[in-house]
Structure 1
Amino acid sequence: MKRLLELLGFLALTRGVLGLPHEFTPWRVGLLRRIGLFDAYGVHASVAPTVPACALFAAAGSRRSGGG
């Protein structure tokens, strides 16, 4: 379960971090360029996944590493 939480946290953090260059540089990476709904809220839509990512990392850190 700890590995799953870490993986989900990593994916959420990666999704959020990859969206920021989309807004501030000419690079077109991340999911925002594919979803027109977030055109006006690009920075917010990129920063928002970092909050659950931090929560997932905290939850993973509080779990025991053993299986039983």
Structure 2
Amino acid sequence: MDLDEFSPRKPDDPLALLKKQDLDPLSVEELDARIAALEAEVARVKRHAERAVNHRASADALFKR
């Protein structure tokens, strides 16, 4: 699977800009902070996706009656 498949199509999209950022000037502490922030964002997106799945399942159950 190619990660570019998940990339936004707009060049000014925040995710596209994040992927293009030069990491060389960052210190180890800055890189660790970036990793922590990205991990927190991944967790937030996963929670949102789980809520969406649960919402869909609830709607499906309601309308199958």
Instruction: State the TM-score, normalized to the length of structure 2.
Output: 0.40
By relative contact order (CA 8 Å, sep 6+), the higher-ranking structure is: 1
State which structure, 1 or 2, has the greater radius of gyration over its C-alpha atoms.
Answer: 2
